[in-house]
Every structure is written in structure tokens, then in C-alpha cells.
Amino acid sequence: MLAHEQPITREQLQEEIARLRQRINELEGKRLDQRHILESTQKREEPLRTVFHNARSGMFILDMQGRHVDVNDAGCMMTGYTREELLQSDVWLLWFPEDAQNAWNREGKLSEWGASLPECRVRKKDGSEIWVEVNLIPFRANDKDLVLEIVRDITGRKRSETALQRAHAELERDVEVRAKELEQTNQRLKREIEERKRAEEELKRTKEYLENVIENSVDAIGIVDRRGRFILWNRRAGEIFGYQSDDLAGRSAFELYADRDDLHRMLERLRQEEVVREYEILMKKQDGSIVPMDISISLLKDDHGNTIGSVCVARDLSERKRGEMDLKRARDELSRYSKDLERQVRARTREIMGILKYTPAVVSIKDTDGRYTLVNSRHEELFGISNDHIHGKSDHEIFPREFADQFRANDLQVLVEGHSRQIEEQIPHRDGVHTYLSVKFPLYDEHGAASGVCGISTDITELKKAQNQLRRLSGSIMAGQEKERAAIARELHDELGQVLTALRMDTVWMLNHLKDTDLKAANRAVAMRELIDKTIDEVRGIALRLRPSVLDDLGLIPALEWYTAELEKRSGIAFVLNHQDIPKVNEIVATAAYRIAQEALTNVVRHSSATHVEVSLQVQGDVLALTVVDNGRGFNTVKLSESESLGVAGMRERANLAGGTLDIESQPGKGSQVHCRLPISGKRGVLR
């Protein structure tokens, strides 16, 4: 107290205390008025707050700094804090910093506009920890940004603790302390009034938010009174049941249930448990159609615990039921298809097994490693090993190495090339080695990868013997033909040539004796001489064509030079013969090369309409390569292979008999090429 101030008398102090008490009474009256207003507002918002407070998940309303604005009972039970304690705190009271860093920054503000934390920890009041799933839903109400925090306990443990409120009671010891406490009470009451005003505004914003959530829900939501009559419903309820927005006002919700017995069972459960969750029941739309629904119902109670109504959330199960029916039909159809496919597979299996059993061919299947997985009965019969015993074995475990190496090489070639091949294979039997014509092709699994090789082999040993006999016979015939031609050529040259020469000499003698005495007879002698000369030329040509002596006397090259020159005279086609220094070849190869060239050139003259022909002879190692190329009209080689002429067949046969090969290439309008390759040594020839 300052020196110039007058001391306060007891009366003045009593007056000041009376004035403060009057002020306190006025503030208490205002607080009661505010409480009445708040209670009236809360009653109007009771249905929405019931949805908020009766939710099973913990729900918190926060401002953008993370301070708690409101919390439901589940949130209090989950954390162990009272509502008052939570409203006086922020999220950092419950959350661990390392778990909440994705949602809140270091200043305690929301990092992003909305967040979801699938797993985080919450510290309960008793210090224990629980794992929760948190969804932060920002919303705006009354020009203020808020966050709805929905917390679901994912540990399955719900613990509740009653928080003890600490009471602070201190006795006033003197007038000054009492005056200070009265002033503090005044300030506290003032703050409470301001906080309650803010709470009313926040409750209003929460109501608007919850109304927005209910109205835009994908489920039908309705609130009914004790008699089951609608008080509130959302837009989705009208859409599902086919009613306009005002048609449900005052209507009994019981009218929407199709099965009364099922309705009574559901209501009985609701009376016993006070909640019904995910109850499937049939409901009736306005047009009379029946739809399956999933119903969840919670009772609404007043402050005294009396039931005043209920909240119902319904979800249309029509699409799900149709999906289940479609799935069932698809499964039934799949089952029928599977059974039909199994029958077809069994039938095809029986057919294939019948073919494998009775076919005279040898059939085998090997995997990519060359191990047998299946052989038919013919294979078992020929090689004396059953399918069960051969399974998993390779050719090297069954056949001699030289044969097994051949089989494996052929199998690998089929796998590498990826298509079928026709191969002649030598396979040992008890009576010796047999020749088989094998068709091998790759097998594939369901992913398109090669899984093995199938081989179908036919014994052609007898056929090969017959072919060799025919080839030897053909060679003998051709050799006989060549000998006969040579003999005929010699007869024509020696016998007929001498006779014609003698006739010519006599004709010349007659001409010399008659030209002075009998001119007519002399002219006839001249005509006879010319006819004899022509006949001599014809006989010489026939003899040369039968067996040109130049081939025997001088060799292959001079014979071809003479023959191409003769053809050029007769046909007018330009012939060119290109050749290297060809070593002397034996009679078989020379005759084969000459006859093949002769037939090829004859075909060119007869059929090609060519103007230029080139004949080439080259030595390539131990091979004599003969090529005949023309610029004629060409032909289709496919048609040639379908119906080969005798001339072409003879050319191939001569090449084969000499141990060589013959190929013909041609395209319509692009001329033709004949390629013949013969071994110079003639060792592989059959012709004698």
C-alpha cells in the first residue's frame, strides 16, 4: 500500500465483498442461461450426435493445429481419457511423434489436406500402447477448417479407465486471498462462457458436417421414433426404395419389410442386444418389388436411458446377390464344360491309345533331355522292353553308342528347328540293322515351350532293298543300252557306212562314163550321188547320237563341244560352253554327265523358246558340277514334281546311279537352271 493511500475500513471492505458477490451471482445467472440454450441446441442435434457418439470407432474433431474440439464416447474409452481431458489437449497427447510425422508437422499443423495412417500407435492415459488405424477427414464449417479423426482399435482390445478428476479445494484464509479467488472465479466463468459459445459453433459445424455425410452416403440412412415412424432419412433411402423426398415423412418403417416373421426376429434381437449389425433381410420397394438388404440398427436413448428411437443403415445387396447368382451359374457352366471336356479327353485318349496299340509303326515320346516318357506296343514288341521299364531311360541306356548318338542328334535338331523332319535312321534288331523312315516333331506344353519330341518310325528295310535292286537293274539296263547304242553306232559306221561309200564310188564312176554319152543318165547319177551323200550324213549323225565316238576317243569336254555346236546349227540357239581343266573321269561319270547334259539341252530346244544357253563344267573338290542355264520361258517346278516327265526322271536316275544329285530351278518367265553334282571318282556309282 502506498504511503498517500488511505487505509481501507472494515465497512468499505464489506461493501466491496458484497459488490463482488452480486457480480458473481449475475455471472452465475448468465451461465445458467447459457446452459439452457446449450441444452436446447443439444436436444435438437441429439439424433446426429447420437450417430457421432454411438459409433464403434473413436471419433475426434480437431482444429488445424491438432487441438481436440470434440470426441465421442468410443474415443474416450479407447484412450482412457475423459472427454474434458481430451478437449483440453491436442493430438500429441495420444500420438507418438514418430508415428504421427506423416500427418502433422513439427508445429502441430496438418501436413497434408487429408491423411490416412493404416497403422500407428496411441499412448493411453495409463501409459499403455494400442495400435490403431486413423483416417483424417478435413472439412470446413462456418468458415473454419476442421478435421474429423476416425480411430479404429485394430488390436481387438478395448480397455476403459475412469479418469479421476482432481479436486482442488483450498480454504480461504483471509480477505485478500478470498478476493483474489473471486476474481479468478470471475475470469474462469468468463472463459467458460466463451468456450461454450465456441462449442455451440463447433457443434453446429459438426452437425452440418454429419448431415452432409449422411446425405451423401452410398447407404440408405434413416432415423425413426419409438413407434418406428421416419423422422429423418437421406437421399439414398428414397432412391433405393423408390420414394420421393417427402413421401417417407411419418411413414412407418415397418411397411418396408417384406417378411413379417423375419422382421419380428430382427426386432427381438434389437431388444435383447440394443444393436443389430449386418442383418440380411428382404425389403419392399414402393413399386412392390423385393430387394435383399443388409441392415444395421442402433437404439437412440435420452438422458435417462429411455429409448426414443433408432438409427438404421441399409445397404442394397441386389448387385451382390446377382453377382453371386452369376458366379454360381458360371461355376455350374464351368463344371458342365469341365465334365464334357473330360469325357472328350477320355474318348480321344482311348482313340489315341488304340492307334498306338495297333499301328504297325514304332511310336515313342521323349522329353527334352532325351528320356523316354512313352512307347507303343510295337516298340515294346520289337525291342523287348516294356513302357514301364523304358520310362525315364535314354537311348544310350538301350542302344549301342553309335546308334544312340544318331538318335539324340536328330532329336536335338528337331527341337532347335522347331518343326517336323523326315529322317532315315538305322536301328539295330536281333536279325541285324534295319532302316526306318522316321517322322519326328516337337511337342509343346501349355506355355508354348518345347516339352519333348515324338517320333513315328516305319521299317523301310525291304523297301530300300527293293529300291537298290531296282537301281542296280536300272543301271544294268542303262549300261546295256549304252553298249547296244555303241554296237549299233559301230554297225552303222562300219557296215552301212562302207556300203554307202561303195555306192557313192559306183555312182561317181557311172557319172564319169555317162556324162559325155547320156546326159539324162548322168543327171540321174548326180542325183543318186547327192542322195547317197545325204544318207551318209544321216547315218553318221545317227551313229554319233547313239554313241558319239568323240566321247570314247577324246573325252567329255570335246563331246559336249561337238554336241552344242550341232544343236546350234540345227536350232539357231546360241550355246556357250564354259569349263575348267577337267581331269579325266571314268566312263560311268563321263557317260552320266554327257547324257544328262544331252537330255537337258534337248528339253531346252523343244520346250523353252530360249535364245541363249550356257553350259558350265566345274570341279569342286571331288565333285564334278554340271550346270545348264537358259533364258527361256521357265515353268512351275511344283507341277514338275507332281508329274515328272520320263526325260527328267531319267536324268535323276542317271545322277543317282553315278552317286550324284540333280536339282532343277525355274520360275515362269525367268528361265531354268539344271544343277548336277557327280563324284569324280565314281566310287559310289552303281552303273557298270
- Name which of 297, 252, 295 is nearest 274 in CA terms: 297
pLDDT in tens, 343-361: 887 877 777 677 767 677 8
What is the CATH number for 149? 3.30.450.20
Domain boundary among 420, 453, 486: 453
Residue 74 has pLDDT above 80, yes or no: yes
Same domain, 57 and 188: yes
Q: How many CA atoms lie within 13 A of 383 on its CB side?
A: 23
Structural domain includes residue 496: yes
Contact 189, 28 (CB under 8 A): yes
Residue 323 has pLDDT above 50, yes or no: yes
Same domain, 200 and 51: yes
pLDDT in tens, 201-256: 776 676 666 666 666 676 778 788 888 887 777 777 777 777 776 777 777 878 77
pLDDT of residue 81: 93
DSSP state letters, 512-550: HHHTTT-HHHHHHHHHHHHHHHHHHHHHHHHHHHHS-HH
Phi, psi of 18 (to 5 degrees): -65, -40
DSSP state letters, 265-305: HHHHHHHHHSEEEEEEEEEE-TTS-EEEEEEEEEEEE-TTS
DSSP category for residue 229? B
The single-letter code of the amino acid at 537 is D
Distance CA 248, CA 244 (A): 8
Same domain, 494 and 565: no
pLDDT in tens, 599-648: 888 888 888 888 899 999 888 888 889 999 999 888 877 666 544 555 77
pTM across the whole model: 0.36
Least confident of 363-372, 510-519, 559-568: 510-519
Distance CA 459, CA 382 (A): 11
Decide the pairing of beta strands 115-123 and 68-71.
unpaired
Structural domain includes residue 351: no
Least confident of 45-49, 159-163, 326-330, 582-586: 159-163
Buried residues in 138-147 as b, exposed as e (16+ CB within 10 A): ebebeeeebb
Neighbours of 320 (CB within 10 A): 12
Structural domain includes residue 19: no
Same domain, 149 and 90: yes
Q: How many residues does the chain have?
A: 688
Q: Tell me the three cell numbers of residue 384.
A: 523287348
Tell me what percent of the chain is helix, strand and coil, each rounded to the nearest 5: 50, 25, 25
Average pLDDT over the chain, rounded to an integer: 76
Structural domain includes residue 572: yes
- Collapsing DSSP to helix, strand or coil, 668 comes out as coil
Same domain, 685 and 560: yes
Phi, psi of 617 (to 5 degrees): -125, 125
In sequence order, which residues have a C-beta less than 8 Å from that of residue 41 and are 6 or more positions away? 200, 203, 204
Is 7 buried (19+), middle (13-18) or exposed (0-12) by CB count in 10 A? exposed
Split into its structural domains, the chain has a count of 5
Structural domain includes residue 27: no
Decide the pairing of beta strands 612-620 and 574-579.
parallel
What is the enclosing helix (H) or strand (E) of 137?
strand 129-141
Domain boundary among 547, 579, 595: 547
Same domain, 143 and 284: no
- Collapsing DSSP to helix, strand or coil, 201 comes out as helix
305: left (phi over 0), alpha (psi -120 to 50) or beta: left
Structural domain includes residue 325: no
Least confident of 55-59, 99-103, 139-143, 453-457: 99-103
Domain carrying residue 588: 556-688
Distance CA 626, CA 651 (A): 12
pLDDT of residue 686: 35
Q: Tell me the three cell numbers of residue 46.
A: 441429439
HEC sequence for 109-134:
CECCCCEEEEEEEEECCCCCEEEEEE
Same domain, 390 and 408: yes
Contact 308, 298 (CB under 8 A): no
Same domain, 441 and 479: no
Maximum CA pair distance of the chain? 206
Same domain, 129 and 232: no
Q: Which residue has the cell 444393436?
A: 275
Structural domain includes residue 1: no
Q: Tell me the three cell numbers of residue 394.
A: 535314354
Structural domain includes residue 335: no
Same domain, 667 and 561: yes
Distance CA 95, CA 593 (A): 102
Q: Which residue has the cell 555346236?
A: 565
Domain boundary among 213, 238, 273: 213
Contact 87, 63 (CB under 8 A): no
Residue 677 has pLDDT above 60, yes or no: yes
Same domain, 103 and 179: yes
